[in-house]
Amino acid sequence: MCGIIGAVGTRDVVPILLDGLRGLEYRGYDSAGLAVIDSTQRPVRERTRGKVTSLVEKLNARPLCGTTGIAHTRWATHGAPSERNAHPHVCGAKVAIAHNGIIENYETLRRELLATGAMLESETDSEVIAHLIAREIDADRSLLDSVAQACHRLEGAFAIEVASPKVPDALIVVRVGSPLVVGIGDGEAFVASALDALLDLTDQFVVLEEGDIAEVRCDGLRIFSLASPKREIKREVLKVEGKRHLKDKGEFDTFMHKEIHEQPEAAVRALESRISGTRVLQPVFGVAAERVLSRVRSVHIVAAGSSYHCGLIAKYWIEDVAGLPCQVEVASEFRYRKAVVLPGSLFVAISQSGETADTLAALRISRRLGFVASLAICNVPTSTLVRESNMTYLMQAGPEFSVASTKAISCSLVGLLLLTLLLGRSRGHSPDAEAEVVEALHSLDDDIREALALEPQIETLAAQLIHRNHALFLGRGPQYPVALEAALKLKEISYIHAEGYPAGELKHGPLALIDESMPVIVIAPKDDLIEKLASNVREVEARGGELIVFAGQDTSFAARSDMHVLPMPRVHELLAPIIYNVPLQLLAYHVARCKGTDIDQPRNLAKAVTVE
Ligand code: AGP
């Protein structure tokens, strides 16, 4: 998954492209490049391994200038992150392309092109696109037709932008399976993988639909269907006002640290206008929700990564509190199996970005499977997931720049808890039970602040973990997915191998790993399972494991040389997963900080996983 941006106008577009790339770097950051049609009507490019800052340095040393250009920030799928594999790819002086997605049949196409004398320079799947287009240009087709013909040969998912001296004042762009939006400015036009990247340039947008091919000029946009490129299509122009979210770390050294600390305010926003007094307000999930939720007899949640862990927590809530069966599945599995959908089932997709390829594919598949409706729990209002779902809960977490998700988790859990309460209500549950949880939610921000106050102790403990190669996180009930999430966070940013386990499962295998070199982190709120968990802790103790216990009030854990106890705030049982997740984020953050890893942009990862 990568970010692409393009611009066509009457001024030099290089600064626009570079600025746009900075706004898209969350989609991939292992290499970057741009190409413009220069004053001699040739495509000229600069590319680099590494981040956009490296590209800027190269362009400072060797400036490029042009009024039509394309740019790309990459997350390597085919071929190493190197300058040679960085986009844009060119075919001689005929065409330059940037691509986001995956061309599944590229090996066949590559063989075919090599057999006909093409000189391919990279190991990427994308370079074949430039050569296929050039071949059509050589056959004297128009640029639009050339791109359309080339696209007919491609299998997979792709958003493509094309610049060519054949039409030096236009870009041709295509959307098939990867997002693309056109921004219409005053005498200029822009293209990007995400609308947010263009917000400082214009407030008029056309979101391209699947199978669209468009000619983007400074004085107009023409959209055609890739299936029949002679047929022009009209698409709605959306007015979206606002500024691109400032990438400002404030007083913090990383976005992750800032975003962890933004959670109290984010939780307030996630609840704003959604609860009142002792009730959840019915339109939380849109006006149709009351009618839809009254028909729901089961819930099927699909998501990836941390969002999947949120779904696992929600399963405990939905089954325990609302009394409805709930299945939770990783999106990449759901999309490739024959799911059995229970009658009256609600499809719930959770995604911070709303652009995760597997989750979007799952949503699209869900439409043919007879679900009652689809609900998106999402942080990005303009995302594909939101646009394609029947109902939406916007997390209101604010922009999350750190690759490691933090505040979006708290906010999506808030949404899932509200969903649980509304499902319970639609099944005739007592308003008192709802009132008790809603009252607890009113102080969620304070509870999170209390958990954040443990930071100095966590920082000290983190320093002791940096030379460990492994760590085990244990929880029971809804704290088991919290353990999974904590393990993901630690491995993602500190590169320490970590596993989350249901504590009761320990004796079925993982206990064999325990010795004095294995830190075991335990999530221990005061709940019905605390005694069971305490026995599991004793099993670890007896084998010499080093314990770190995040302990609820009135639990019996006492600090000793081999057991660190962090006292957690007294919280409502249902809110415990939200609150206990917070200090575990801090633990991962401080371990990574002590180790000196790139916390906001960990190696090999990207913020939005827009390829499968
Ligand atoms: C979380 O820290 C990860 N970076 C990752 O697992 C993420 O949650 C996953 O890729 C899903 O993203 P989404 O919520 O945007 O769909």
Last residue of a domain, one of 442, 469, 494: 442
Name which of 99, 82, 112 is nearest 2 in CA terms: 99
Given 94, 166, 315, 607, which residue is catalytic?
607
Q: Does ligand 1 lie within 6 Å of residue 384's CB atom?
A: no
Last residue of a domain, one of 391, 414, 442: 442
3-state secondary structure of 535: helix
Asked if residue 318 and residue 180 are part of one domain, the reply reads no
Alpha helices in 190-344 (DSSP H): 255-261, 263-271, 289-295, 305-317, 331-334
Question: What is the model's pLDDT at position 12?
Answer: 97
Number of H helices, E strands in the chain: 19, 27
The least confident of 91-100, 138-147, 279-288 is 279-288
Q: Does ligand 1 lie within 6 Å of residue 307's CB atom?
A: yes
Residue 182 lies in a domain: yes
Question: What is the model's pLDDT at position 228?
Answer: 86
Q: Does ligand 1 lie within 6 Å of residue 1's CB atom?
A: no
The total of other beta-carbon atoms located within 10 Å of residue 341's CB is 15
Q: How far is the CA of 81 from the centre of ligand 1 (A)?
A: 22
Q: Does ligand 1 lie within 6 Å of residue 345's CB atom?
A: no
Segments forming the whole domain that contains residue 497: 452-597
Ligand 1 nearest-atom number relative to CA 304: 11
Reported as a pLDDT band with limits 50, 70 and 90, residue 324 is: very high
Asked if residue 86 and residue 64 are part of one domain, the reply reads yes
Asked if residue 346 and residue 215 are part of one domain, the reply reads no
pLDDT per position as a tens digit, 22-73: 989 888 888 999 999 999 999 999 999 999 999 999 999 999 999 999 999 9
Asked if residue 565 and residue 420 are part of one domain, the reply reads no
Is 607 catalytic? The answer is yes
Residue whose CA is closest, atom 7 of ligand 1?
Answer: 305
Distances (CA, A) of 80 to 5, 6, 77, 502, 564: 22, 24, 8, 37, 43
Asked if residue 21 and residue 83 are part of one domain, the reply reads yes
d(CA 513, CA 491): 18
Q: How far is the CA of 13 from the centre of ligand 1 (A)?
A: 32
pLDDT at 287 over 90: no
Residue 181 lies in a domain: yes
d(CA 49, CA 81): 6
Asked if residue 187 and residue 155 are part of one domain, the reply reads yes
Q: What is the CATH number of the domain that holds 498?
A: 3.40.50.10490
pLDDT per position as a tens digit, 444-461: 999 999 999 999 999 999
Q: Does ligand 1 lie within 6 Å of residue 600's CB atom?
A: no
Residue whose CA is closest, atom 13 of ligand 1?
Answer: 351
Residue 537 lies in a domain: yes
The total of other beta-carbon atoms located within 10 Å of residue 482's CB is 28
Question: What is the model's pLDDT at position 430?
Answer: 87
Residue 611 lies in a domain: no
Q: In a 10 Å sphere around its CB, with 0-12 CB exposed, 13-18 middle and 19+ buried, how is residue 30 labelled?
A: buried
Residue 612 lies in a domain: no
Asked if residue 17 and residue 67 are part of one domain, the reply reads yes
pLDDT per position as a tens digit, 232-286: 999 999 998 877 777 789 999 999 999 999 999 999 999 988 988 889 987 788 8
Residue 606 lies in a domain: no
Ligand 1 nearest-atom number relative to CA 303: 16
Site to substitute for ligand 1 among 378, 405, 601, 610, most atoms within 8 A of C-beta: 405
Site to substitute for ligand 1 among 329, 348, 356, 378, most atoms within 8 A of C-beta: 356
Q: How far is the CA of 406 from the centre of ligand 1 (A)?
A: 10
- When divided into structural domains, the chain yields a total of 3
d(CA 254, CA 261): 11
pLDDT per position as a tens digit, 193-218: 988 899 999 999 999 998 999 999 99
Question: What is the model's pLDDT at position 533?
Answer: 95
Residue whose CA is closest, atom 16 of ligand 1?
Answer: 351
Asked if residue 94 and residue 61 are part of one domain, the reply reads yes
Residue 352 lies in a domain: yes
Asked if residue 286 and residue 269 are part of one domain, the reply reads yes
Last residue of a domain, one of 201, 221, 239: 239
Q: Does ligand 1 lie within 6 Å of residue 609's CB atom?
A: yes
Q: What is the CATH number of the domain that holds 206?
A: 3.60.20.10
Q: Does ligand 1 lie within 6 Å of residue 366's CB atom?
A: no
Asked if residue 264 and residue 192 are part of one domain, the reply reads no
Q: Does ligand 1 lie within 6 Å of residue 306's CB atom?
A: yes
Site to substitute for ligand 1 among 254, 255, 334, 353, most atoms within 8 A of C-beta: 353
Question: What is the model's pLDDT at position 389?
Answer: 95
Residue whose CA is closest, atom 5 of ligand 1?
Answer: 305
3-state secondary structure of 585: helix
Asked if residue 491 and residue 395 are part of one domain, the reply reads no
Is 151 catalytic? The answer is no
Q: Does ligand 1 lie within 6 Å of residue 305's CB atom?
A: yes
Asked if residue 233 and residue 258 are part of one domain, the reply reads no
Question: What is the model's pLDDT at position 282?
Answer: 76
Q: What is the mean pLDDT of the chain?
A: 94
Q: Does ligand 1 lie within 6 Å of residue 410's CB atom?
A: no
Question: What is the model's pLDDT at position 1?
Answer: 67
Q: Does ligand 1 lie within 6 Å of residue 351's CB atom?
A: yes
Residue 97 lies in a domain: yes
